[in-house]
Structure 1
């Protein structure tokens, strides 16, 4: 599958998200047709392990989206609790993507 390159200028949505009593800032970049194509996640404590994992997870989400993986497929692949809640900030970000743009 070929990677779809994002336009140089693109719409971006930024919002705050809390998960596991921690605050994160999430930015989502969109293709011209409204599909999400990139995700950035930053935590409140720069240099922490949680922030590094959240940034790396955002990169992996971005690469998957750019290679055509549907958001819903990513959602079903991440770890969830018995109550179908996301187990990590990455799962919470993917849930928000599903809410914003569907599957």
Structure 2
């Protein structure tokens, strides 16, 4: 599938969340029809390994979304603990969106 570009002007929501004891900020961009099209994650301190890994995971997720991957498919493919909780910031963001909690 080819990449579906987002409109130049698009709806965006931002919210803070915690993953494994670290606070992050997520910003989400949407297509005109309301589908999620991009994710940005910022960590508590720019340039740290934690922040860089979260940011890169968000970029990869955005590219997958723009190529037609469903957020729920991505969410279920990510690492989880023995109780099914996400182990990564991007997994936490996708879980929050699925539950309706990840809205500004």
Q: Same fold (TM over 0.5)?
A: yes
Give SS of 2:47's match.
coil
Are residues 1:67 and 2:67 paired?
yes
Deviations 1:40-91 (A, max 9, x none): 0000111100000000000011011101101111011100111110011111
4+ residue runs over 4 A deviation: none
Task: Find the aligned partners of 2:40 and 2:76 in 1 and give their Cα distance.
Answer: 20
Number of equivalent positions: 100
What is the CA RMSD across the aligned residues, in angstroms? 0.8
Q: TM-score, normalised by structure 1?
A: 0.93
Task: Find the aligned partners of 1:87 and 1:11 in 2 and give their Cα distance.
Answer: 28
Task: Find the aligned partners of 1:96 and 1:59 in 2 and give their Cα distance.
Answer: 18
Q: Using the TM superposition, give the Cα deviation of residue 97 of structure 1 relative to its aligned residue in structure 2, in angstroms.
A: 2.5
Are residues 1:96 and 2:66 paired?
no
Map of 1:4 onto structure 2: 4
Map of 2:30 onto structure 1: 30
Map of 1:79 onto structure 2: 79
